[in-house]
Amino acid sequence: MIIVMKAEASKADADELLALIENKGLKPLYLPGEERTVLGALGDERVLADMNLHNHPHVDEVKAILSPYKKVSRELHPEDTIVEVGPCRFSPDKFVVIGGPCAVENTEQMSTVAQGVSQAGAKLLRGGIFKPRTSPYSFQGLGIDGLSVMTDAADAHGMGTVTEVTDVTEVPQLDGRVSAFQIGSRNMQNFRLLEAVGKTNTPVLLKRGLSAKIDELLLAAEYIVDNGNDQVVLCERGIRTYETATRNTLDLNAVAYIKKRSHLPIIVDPSHGTGVKDLIVPMSKAAVAAGADGLIVEVHPNPSEAKSDAHQQLTIAEFTELMQQITPFVHASGRTLS
């Protein structure tokens, strides 16, 4: 950590901080300059994170040297983590597509979707049973009763399942019964929930918060890994910016950046990432090309009748078209569809 003192700080002020650094087990450095004095704290500076030294009365600015996360960093763990979810492997040679409706509604819906999505080449089925909704007046999901509706449909086609957990009490209800948990954007920093899934052996699909920095996404993943579960797949799903033409701004820079910095796989959600149906195909291709390890796409047999995200979900025909459209880009990336 580098600590820039205020212009008016004295040698005694610096000495006080240097003693503090040494007390914390770090190696202190004293670098007097013409305009400013700079101090260094070498070693595992994360022990200083809670001190908010940038608000110390004699300190002007503090610069971290190390990234705040460790276990998810590629620096100490250079090889890619392979995550197995149901019949699929998230790995550098594969491209995994997860399809299914926003919300599980009934048996017929799920059966139709599972067949359609499976026939188009996807092996993981998604569907929400616990739905976090912005408005209290919106459909809130079937709850735990929806679980077997989804798993029966998936089983019939040899598919794995992914569903969202919104609260710690739901984790034991679903653990062992789904192929992967999904943590939604709004819960990316629900730390109790991260700890709860981190204590299971079930893979976790962790979505980036709507305005989360990349470092915060990686720190949220660190919570899960630190609790013992390293089967984490990250998901970029669009960030909130000033642009209003699209609902969110799909940040593919983040995909490329995370592939360099972390060993965890990362997929893209083009449905929420754009919020505009006719951008799903081009942005899915772009996600492949940017290096993503997969996609998660909303599909519904009859989107205009859907109880949530109506009209935004793809029809089965549109999903089939999407799979065909991305295939040449998957191959250009040296991957095959998983």
Which residue, 124, 123, 92, is CA-closest to 264? 92
Find the binder of a second copy among 252, 267, 297, 323 (CB under 8 A). 252
Given the complex with a second copy, which of 129 and 286 has the nearer CB atom?
286
Which three-class secondary structure state does DSSP give residue 124? strand
Which residue, 307, 309, 305, is CA-closest to 297? 309
Applying CB under 8 A, which part among 85-93, 116-124, 173-181, 233-241 lies near a second copy? 233-241
DSSP state of 186: G
Applying CB under 8 A, which part among 104-112, 150-158, 199-207, 240-248 lies near a second copy? 240-248
**If binding is defined by CB under 8 A, does position 207 make contact with a second copy?**
no
User: Which of the residues 288 through 327 are near a second copy (CB under 8 A)?
Assistant: 288-291, 303-304, 306-312
**Closest separation in Å from C-beta 286 to a second copy:** 4
Rounded-to-integer distance, Cα 196 and Cα 190, Å: 10
Query: Rg (Cα) of the chain, in Å, rounded?
Result: 23
Rounded-to-integer distance, Cα 140 and Cα 176, Å: 23
**Closest separation in Å from C-beta 90 to a second copy:** 18
Contact 305, 264 (CB under 8 A): no
**If binding is defined by CB under 8 A, does position 182 make contact with a second copy?**
no
User: Which of the residues 27 through 86 are near a second copy (CB under 8 A)?
Assistant: 27, 29, 31, 33-36, 38, 40, 42-44, 46, 49-57, 61, 63, 65-66, 68-69, 75
**If binding is defined by CB under 8 A, does position 337 make contact with a second copy?**
no
Give the pair of three-digit tokens for residue 33.
């300059």
**If binding is defined by CB under 8 A, does position 173 make contact with a second copy?**
no
DSSP state of 49: G
Give the pair of three-digit tokens for residue 147.
């679980």
**If binding is defined by CB under 8 A, does position 230 make contact with a second copy?**
no
**Closest separation in Å from C-beta 160 to a second copy:** 26
**If binding is defined by CB under 8 A, does position 14 make contact with a second copy?**
no
**If binding is defined by CB under 8 A, does position 169 make contact with a second copy?**
yes
Phi, psi of 126, deg, nearest 5: -110, 165
Q: What is the crossing angle of helices 316-332 and 280-290, to 10°? A: 30
* Span between the terminal Cα atoms of the chain, in Å: 43
**If binding is defined by CB under 8 A, does position 13 make contact with a second copy?**
no
Q: Which residue has the tokens 């704290």?
A: 41
Given the complex with a second copy, which of 65 and 156 has the nearer CB atom?
65
Contact 284, 270 (CB under 8 A): yes
Question: How many residues at the interface with a second copy, by CB under 8 A?
Answer: 108
Find the binder of a second copy among 105, 164, 230, 251 (CB under 8 A). 251
Phi, psi of 133, deg, nearest 5: -125, 135
**If binding is defined by CB under 8 A, does position 216 make contact with a second copy?**
yes
Give the pair of three-digit tokens for residue 317.
């025909």
Given the complex with a second copy, which of 94 and 157 has the nearer CB atom?
94
C-beta neighbour count of 262 within 10 angstroms: 26
Given the complex with a second copy, which of 115 and 333 has the nearer CB atom?
333
**If binding is defined by CB under 8 A, does position 246 make contact with a second copy?**
yes
Q: What angle do CA 306, 307, 308 make, to 5 degrees?
A: 90
**Closest separation in Å from C-beta 94 to a second copy:** 18
Applying CB under 8 A, which part among 90-98, 111-119, 144-152, 216-224 lies near a second copy? 216-224
**Closest separation in Å from C-beta 296 to a second copy:** 17
